[in-house]
Amino acid sequence: MTLKDLIVFLLYIIGNVGVSVYLSRKIKDSDDFFAAGRQSSWWLSGLSAYMTMFSAGTFVVWGGIAFKAGFVAVTISMCLGVSAMFVGYYLSGRWRRLGVTSAAEFITLRYGKWALNLYTWFNILYRLFGMAVALYSLAVVLQAILPESINTFFLNWLGISAVNAVIIFCGILIVAYSIFGGLWSVLITDVVQFVILMVAVVAVIPLGFIKLGGISAFVQQVPPGFFKPVNQEFTWLFMAAWIVIHMFKIGGEWAFVQRFICVPTTRDARKATYLFGILYLISPVIWMLPPMMYRI
């Protein structure tokens, strides 16, 4: 990573925090904070839900499978699109009709305060480990591209590794922009990330094919079975189970439910989820092509 890369990275971070601070003026009550005042457009909600499924593991884990096994990684990712389409048809509109603003409110209304206490303590533990894994994955990726001098600086002056420093820094950043702008800031920054990632990957693909000598040269050089949709490890039964698992995840995990309840109408909620599903049925080919090409 060069000085120019670091400048771009810092400008991106400053931009995210700046957007959050700017949007803080929209936050007047809990409905604004947790549900964006139910004024989000369906496409904004859909893109945000799409990006919510992303993590560092998206490129590390599934990118690794694409490099090793080929098109099967695309099939695995497309299963999420199928799950989202089911959720859009059966669940997202119902979530919007409930009129709740938070998971705590829904659990209290449905099951009572004893269930709320159980949910709160369980969710603290679950999120503690879940966010630890997410932040650690992100830190490992970032640390790998940072200059060695930065790692040496952290060790000598702070007594911690670059990985730990990145975890602390990114954790503070995420908490800050979430507190300032609530769900509005998350929605907007998700769309910004979508644009940046899409532009970067779309630019890499033609450059990769040029480097390989064209699409036909790429197809001719791949290992046998590289374009098969399933293999012995990831079978059609695995894909079916993956779809069911993510129907529960997308339809019940509050990070996604928030995207269903922040739009004006039930129709908007369904449209947002359908957009999420369509993108995951199309985009995995784009995301997984670079590691597949890198195999060659």
Quote the CA–CA distance of 69 and 235 in Å, as a whole number.
12
103 near 119, Cβ under 8 Å?
A: yes
d(CA 284, CA 286): 5
| Conformation bin of residue 15: beta by default, left when phi > 0, alpha when psi is -120 to 50 | alpha
- Residues composing the chain: 296
Tens of pLDDT, residue by residue over 195-222, are 988 898 889 999 999 998 888 889 888 8
Q: Once rounded to an integer, what is the mean pLDDT over residues 269-279?
A: 95
Residues 6+ apart with CB under 8 A from 65: 72, 73, 76, 234
* 29-79 residue pLDDT tens: 878 888 788 888 999 999 999 998 887 667 778 888 999 999 999 999 999
Lowest mean pLDDT among 63-77, 80-94, 146-160: 146-160
> Would you give the DSSP letter of residue 27?
-
| Cα 83 to Cα 242: distance, rounded to the nearest angstrom | 9
Per the structure block, which two tokens stand in for 158? 């702070």
Residue 50's Cβ-side half-sphere holds a number of Cα atoms within 13 Å equal to 31
Can you give the pLDDT at residue 145?
A: 77
Residue range 93-100: mean pLDDT, rounded = 88
Give the Cα separation of 251 and 256 in Å (integer).
Answer: 7
pTM of the model: 0.82
| Structure-token pair, residue 34 | 């947790």
Confidence (pLDDT) at 162: 78
- In DSSP notation, 161-192 reads -HHHHHHHHHHHHHHHHHHHHHHHHHHHHHHH
Share of the chain above pLDDT 70, in %: 98
Is the pLDDT confidence value at 10 over 80?
Answer: yes
Q: What is the DSSP string of 79-146?
A: HHHHHHHHHHHHTHHHHHHH---SHHHHHHHHH-HHHHHHHHHHHHHHHHHHHHHHHHHHHHHHHHHS
Nearest to 182 by CA among 41, 55, 37: 37
Quote the longest CA-to-CA distance of the chain: 64
Q: What is the pLDDT of residues 114-147, one digit of tens each?
A: 888 888 888 888 888 888 888 888 888 777 777 7
Rounded to the nearest integer, the mean pLDDT of the chain is 87
Return d(Cα 109, Cα 115) in angstroms, integer. Answer: 10
